Amino acid sequence: MMPFLIALQFLTTFPIELKQMPSKQQNAQSLLFYPVIGLMIGVILFAIATLLYALPVILLSSLILVVWIWLTGGLHLDGLADTADAWVGGFGDPERTLKIMKDPSCGPIGVLSLIILCLLKWSALYVLLQQQLYSALILFPLLARLATLFLFLTTNYVREKGLGSSIAEFIPKTAAIIVCAVCLLASVYWGWAGIICAISMTGTLLYLRYKFIQRIGGITGDTVGASIEICETVGLLIFVISLFYSVQ
């Protein structure tokens, strides 16, 4: 139960209080529940879309996006902004890139990345809701949180001190692989659009991993957060786009 509560506390704004300090093993095991938290977020978004279906689509898509951000506390958006700032300001230098990521302030590139991502996500949400495919809202948060599992399983964590390094050491590898496989198979429920969405998100994640290794030799908490946001948005966009091409 503790690993689930750790994941719920870290990934959402739900008022969760842990009765004791979690161990390194429990922190690592909490990663297995990240897709479950994504599923919970998706179900909440699906419920809102279903209950408020009578609202104009433009208003409903805005409400869902705001709730989506609120549920996560903007945690992954913060990682995206820090990563974008560091990637541009780092000028290809690993040490400078990592140093900028630690800076709590958000530069113009970080702000621009947030605007672009939220605009793309809102536009895709608008089209998805217009097509009344409310159940698909469950898919994107679920699959995107597999990014954390995949990156910690396959990629070096570059900061020696901190929570991420202990998670990378104690993550249950076999269980993590099973969770990833089951979640990817779940995309079949949404037909070809779901399968294409899962493939596109996997391809995006592989590319991001390659770029992270190329620049800084691995991952940080910020790059993992950025990966979740980027994969979520790519999956949503590809899902919506594939709907129109499958009709032709």
Q: How confident is the model at residue 21 (pLDDT cuts 50, 70, 90)?
A: confident
If you average pLDDT over residues 173-191, what whole number do you get? 95
pLDDT in tens, 80-128: 999 999 999 988 899 999 999 988 888 899 999 999 999 999 999 999 9
Local confidence band at 20 (pLDDT 50, 70, 90 cut-offs): confident
pLDDT at 225 over 90: yes
Q: Is the pLDDT of residue 248 over 50?
A: no
**145: nearest Cα among 3, 17, 40:** 40
Looking at residue 148, its pLDDT comes to: 94
pLDDT attached to residue 81: 95
Pick from 125, 90, 24: which is nearest to 223 by CA? 90
User: Three-state secondary structure along the chain?
Assistant: CHHHHHHHHHHCCCCCCCCCCCCHHHHHHHHHHHHHHHHHHHHHHHHHHHHCCCCCHHHHHHHHHHHHHHHHCCHHHHHHHHHHHHHHHCCCCHHHHHHHHHCCCCCHHHHHHHHHHHHHHHHHHHHHHHCCCHHHHHHHHHHHCHHHHHHHHHCCECCCCCHHHHHHHHCCHHHHHHHHHHHHHHHHHHHHHHHHHHHHHHHHHHHHHHHHHHHHCCECHHHHHHHHHHHHHHHHHHHHHHHHHHHC
Backbone angles phi, psi at 219, to 5 degrees: -125, 165
Q: What are the pLDDT digits (tens) for 40-57?
A: 999 999 999 999 999 999
Q: Which two tokens stand for residue 205?
A: 């994640």
The domain segmentation of the chain, as residue ranges, is 2-7+22-247
How far is it, in rounded angstroms, from Cα 178 to Cα 159?
Answer: 27
User: What pLDDT sits at residue 163?
Assistant: 67
Say yes or no to pLDDT of 247 above 60.
no
pLDDT band at 7 (very low <50, low <70, confident <90, very high): very high
More confident site: 166 or 204: 204
**How much is the pTM?**
0.94
Mean pLDDT computed over every residue of the chain: 93
Q: What is the mean pLDDT of residues 170-185?
A: 93
CB 45 within 8 A of CB 64: yes
Predicted local confidence at residue 246, as pLDDT: 64
